[in-house]
Amino acid sequence: MTNHEDLPYIQHIRDAIRYIENFIKGLTKDKFFKDKLRQSAVVRQLEIIGEATKNVSTKFRDKYLEVEWRKMAGTRDRVSHAYFDVNLEIVWSIIEDDLPKLKKQIKKILEKELKNN
């Protein structure tokens, strides 16, 4: 797989982050924990991030070692350890701690890759 073939997956990750940001805009942790609709929307986008990551080639991942690809690929497993039991503490932690860093990394990757293509 070439870098060009990996870019759609990177763009899916970027888009999923944007959706999550919109879903939680103005929401406190407590309000998020009570809002099943937003929880479902956020968890779905985290699943998309995990699945998109799994489709990024090893060559591309090796090019950007600063990104925690393995952790991202396991996002779905971290969030939902059973079909109907989502760990909201982990979801909120991902939103607060992991996504801002990932957003910056994905932005830099896309800027570099799109500039080179």
Number of independent structural domains in the chain: 1
CA distances from 104 to 18, 29, 56, 66 (A): 12, 23, 18, 11
Q: Is 4 a catalytic residue?
A: no
Is the pLDDT at 14 greater than 70? The verdict is yes
pLDDT (tens digit per residue) in 49-58? 999 999 999 9
Mean pLDDT (the chain, rounded): 91
pLDDT (tens digit per residue) in 81-105? 666 678 899 999 999 999 999 999 9
Residues 4, 14, 18, 81: which is the catalytic one?
81
Residues 4, 61, 76, 78: which is the catalytic one?
76
Quote the domain boundaries for residue 49. Answer: 3-116
Q: What is the pTM of this model?
A: 0.91
DSSP 33-64: HH-HHHHHHHHHHHHHHHHHHHHS-HHHHHHT
Q: Is 76 a catalytic residue?
A: yes
| Integer Cα distance of 28 and 67 in angstroms | 27
